[in-house]
Amino acid sequence: LGLLRGFAGSTWNTGIAFGTVGAEVDGVRLEITTFRADRYDRVSRTRATASSTAASPHAATQAQ
Reported as a pLDDT band with limits 50, 70 and 90, residue 61 is very low
This prediction has a pTM of 0.54
Please, how many CA atoms are within 13 Å of residue 61, restricted to the half-sphere of its CB?
Answer: 3
Q: Cα(57)–Cα(9) distance, rounded to whole angstroms? A: 27
CA distances from 29 to 12, 35, 47 (A): 11, 19, 30
The structural domains of the chain, with segments of one domain joined by +, span: 2-51
Query: Which tens digit of pLDDT belongs to each residue from 15-48?
Result: 888 889 999 999 999 999 887 777 777 787 776 6
Reported as a pLDDT band with limits 50, 70 and 90, residue 56 is low
Q: Cα(23)–Cα(59) distance, rounded to whole angstroms? A: 16
